[in-house]
Amino acid sequence: MTRQNYASLQAKINKEIDKLRKQATALQSKSRKPVIASIVRSMKEYDISPEEIVAAFGKPVARVKSPAATKLPKAAKPATPKKSVPPKYRHPATGATWTGRGKAPLWIVDAEKNGQTRQEFLI
């Protein structure tokens, strides 16, 4: 795929995403209007003021934008810092260590080719 094809395809996809976001916002707005009207009608019927609603929440509530109204999609959960893992294996001659996660280092691979086992390098 050439760079120009990629760029034009990316632009086309972004345009479609924007179109779908606008449709989602319109749909949400359309479905919210009857609910808000019902709430206002009930507030008038029972003589409830907006201040009483705020007091019922306990504190002023900030308006949260819907995910459809935001420009960029948000991550499912916030990134947490990775914890360091203590080493599990140590090379006796060089002192090099390995946690046992990910691709095995060359000194482990070479030792296994020579007939040694990983258990011999356990810390």
Q: Backbone phi, then psi, for 40, in 5-degree steps?
A: -60, -40
User: Given this model, what pLDDT does residue 70 score?
Assistant: 52
Domain boundaries, the chain: 3-69, 89-121
User: Does residue 114 register a pLDDT over 80?
Assistant: yes
Structure letter (DSSP) for residue 90: E
- Cα angle value 61/64/69 (rounded, 5°): 160
Question: Cα(116)–Cα(107) distance, rounded to whole angstroms?
Answer: 11
In the numeric block, the tokens 């070479």 are attached to 110
Q: Residues 51-106: pLDDT tens digits?
A: 888 888 876 556 656 555 555 555 566 677 778 889 999 988 888 999 988 899 99
Task: Find, among 108, 107, 110, 103, the residue nearest to 118 by Cα.
Answer: 108
3-state secondary structure of 11: helix
Query: Which residues are within 8 A (CB) of 45 and not within 5 positions of it... i.e. 6 or more apart?
Result: none
